[in-house]
Amino acid sequence: MLSNKKRNASFLKRNTALVHIFSTQFNKKLLLLKYHITREEAIENTNIFKIPPYYKLFSVVYYMFFFFYL
């Protein structure tokens, strides 16, 4: 049986991975809508490090609430 610390750490890792996936998908869609660029260009230009910090913060807070109140 996992200890609480290990369980929380694995949950956090999974949560941050999901937030990363969701935020990159969100950013790709934003690029597509805002600049009317092709999907390939959006994939090429989208990187986790290029996402502005407030998007990261918003997505982390949003998905924390989403997962805890599910």
| 58 pLDDT tier (thresholds 50, 70, 90) | confident
Q: What per-residue confidence (pLDDT) applies to 51?
A: 57
pLDDT tens-digit series, residues 32-57: 566 555 566 656 665 555 556 666 67
pTM over 0.75: no
Angle (deg, nearest 10), helices 4-35 and 53-68: 130
First to last CA, the chain: 24
Question: What distance in Å separates the CA atoms of residue 37 and residue 39, rounded to the nearest whole number?
Answer: 7
* Residue boundaries of the structural domains of the chain: 13-68
Return the number of other C-beta atoms located less than 10 Å from residue 23's C-beta. Answer: 20
How far apart are alpha carbons 56 and 36 in whole angstroms?
23
pLDDT at 70 over 60: yes
Confidence of residue 67 (pLDDT cuts 50, 70, 90): confident
The pLDDT value given to residue 55: 66
Q: Which residue has the tokens 């694995």?
A: 10
